Amino acid sequence: MKPKLAILAISATVLMWASSFVVIRAFADELSPGPMALLRLVAGMAALSALLLWMRRGKLRLPGRRGLILGAAFGVVWFAVYTLVFNWAGHFLDAGTIAMLVNLAPLLVALGGGLFFGEGFPRQLFAGMAVSLVGIGLITFAGSTGRLSLAGLLIAVSAAVLYAVGMLIQKLTLRHTDPLTATWIACAAGAVVLLPFIPQTIGEIQAASAASILGAVYMGIGPTAVAFIFWGYAMMHFPAGRVAASTLTVPAIVVLMAWLFLAEVPPALAIIGGTVCLIGVAIAQWRRPHRRSRRHDDAVTTAEAPAPA
C-alpha cells in the first residue's frame, strides 16, 4: 500500500509543479512578477507554519546561527529572486518553453556539486552538458526566427541558474536542520525580501480577477507547501535518484496543460530543442545501479531533496 501511496505522491507533486508554469503564464497580464511572488510566498508561509506547528506540537525548533543564515540565503535566492525571474519569464515565453529551459537546473546542480562539494565530474555529466547545449542552440535558433522572445530565453535560463544555486545552498542548509524547517525558514526569508512589493500588490489586487489571486495563493499552498510534503514522503519510500528522475516529465505535462488550458504550444523547433535538452539532463543524471547500505540511502535522500518548484 505504501509504494502505491508514494507513486500517487510523486504524481501529485509533478502535476502541481507543472501547473505552476501554466498558472503564471495564464495570469501574467493581471499580476506583475513581484506581487504574484509575494502572494505565493505569503500563502506558502501560512501553510508551512500551520504544518510545522502541527507536526512539532506547537514547538518550533530553529537551527543554530549558521543554519539560519544558510536557510535565509536559500530563501532569498530560490524563493524570492528565482520566483521573481520565473514569473517574469511568463511575460515573454509560453509555459512549455519555460519548463524545458528551467529543467536544465539538475544538470547545473550536478556541475555545482562537482565544483563545490567534491562530487566529481563523471563522463556522463560532460556528455549530458554537450547534448543539452545542442538543445539550447535549437531553442535559441527558434528565438532568432521571431517565434520566441530572445529576452525571454535569457530570463528562463537565468531562472534555471538561480534554481540550481538555490538547490546547492539548500544542500548546505540541510546539514544543519531538517527539510521542513529549512523550507519554512527559506519561505519566510523570501517573503521578507519581497515586502517592498506590498504597495504594488495592493494596487494590482484591486484590479485583478479573483481567479488570478486564487492562482497565486494556490501556488503557495500547492506547489510550494503541499508538494514539498508529498515529495518528502516519496523520498522515504523510493531511492532519491528514481524520485528525482520523475521531474523530467514536468515539461511534457506543462506542454499538454498549456495546450488544453491556454491553447498555446511551443514552436516545433523549440519542442525538439527542449527534448534534446532533457535527454542531456537525463544522461547527466544517469548512474549505474549498485548496492548501497540503508544508512547511505538515507543520507542521499536527505541531501538530494530538492526545493519545491
Q: pLDDT tens for residues 262-306?
A: 999 888 888 898 899 888 888 876 765 554 444 444 444 333 445
**What is residue 1's predicted lDDT score, i.e. its pLDDT?**
64
**What is residue 138's predicted lDDT score, i.e. its pLDDT?**
85
The SS3 call for residue 205 is: helix
Please say whether the beta carbons of 262 and 202 come within 8 A. no
Locate the domains of the chain by residue range. Answer: 2-303
Q: How far apart are CA 241 and CA 243, in angstroms?
A: 5
> What's the mean per-residue pLDDT of the chain?
84
- Percent of the chain scoring above 90 in pLDDT: 40
Does residue 240 carry a pLDDT above 70? no
Residue pLDDT, tens place only, 3-30: 788 888 888 988 999 999 999 999 999 9
**What is residue 146's predicted lDDT score, i.e. its pLDDT?**
66
Q: Give, for 63, the enclosing helix (H) or strand (E).
A: none
Quote the distance between the C-alpha of residue 244 and its chain's center. Answer: 12
Q: How far apart are CA 79 and CA 73, in angstroms?
A: 10
Comparison of pLDDT for 148 and 17, the residue scoring more: 17
Question: Taken in order 158, 280, 112, 192, is the CA torsion positive or negative?
Answer: positive
Residue type, 77: V
pTM score: 0.83
**What is residue 144's predicted lDDT score, i.e. its pLDDT?**
64
**What is residue 297's predicted lDDT score, i.e. its pLDDT?**
44
Q: How far apart are CA 260 and CA 22, in angstroms?
A: 10
**What is residue 299's predicted lDDT score, i.e. its pLDDT?**
41
* Res. 53 pLDDT band, cuts 50 70 90: confident
Please say whether the beta carbons of 84 and 38 come within 8 A. no
Q: What do you get for the CA distance between the two ends of the chain, in Å?
A: 27
Residue pLDDT, tens place only, 174-220: 889 888 888 899 999 999 999 999 999 999 999 999 999 999 999 99
